[in-house]
C-alpha cells in the first residue's frame, strides 16, 4: 500500500527519474510503494546474495520494460539558491 498517498493507487509503476542510481528500478518501486528508496536498495542488495542471477535478470527486465516517469510529474523547485548574491 502506498503510505504517502493512499488515494493515489492508480499511479503506474515507472522508472524513477528523480531517485535514480543505475536504471531507476529501485527508486520507481520505492515511489510506487511509498517507501524509502535507500531501504529498497538495501533489501535488493541483501536479496542479491541468495538470488544472484534471478534478481539481476529481473532487474534488467524491469529496467527494459517499465516506462520512464513523465517529466511533468516533477514538483516545482522549492529550494532557494545556495548563493543568492550570485
CA angle 36–37–43, rounded 5-degree value: 95
Q: How much is the average pLDDT of 45-59?
A: 91
- Specify the pLDDT at position 17: 84
For the full predicted model, state whether its pTM sits above 0.85.
no
Average per-residue pLDDT in the chain?
80
The answer for residues whose C-beta is within 8 angstroms of residue 6's C-beta and 6 or more apart is: none
- Crossing angle of helices 52-65 and 25-33, in 10° steps, is 80
pLDDT over threshold 70, residue 14: yes
Q: How much is the average pLDDT of 59-73?
A: 84
Amino acid at each position: 500500500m502506498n503510505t504517502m498517498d493512499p488515494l493515489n493507487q492508480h499511479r503506474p509503476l515507472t522508472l524513477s527519474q528523480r531517485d535514480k542510481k543505475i536504471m531507476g528500478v529501485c527508486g520507481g518501486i520505492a515511489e510506487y510503494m511509498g517507501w524509502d528508496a535507500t531501504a529498497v536498495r538495501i533489501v535488493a542488495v541483501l536479496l542479491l546474495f541468495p538470488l544472484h542471477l534471478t534478481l539481476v535478470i529481473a532487474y534488467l527486465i524491469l529496467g527494459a520494460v517499465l516506462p520512464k516517469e513523465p517529466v511533468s510529474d516533477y514538483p516545482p523547485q522549492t529550494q532557494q539558491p545556495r548563493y543568492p548574491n550570485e
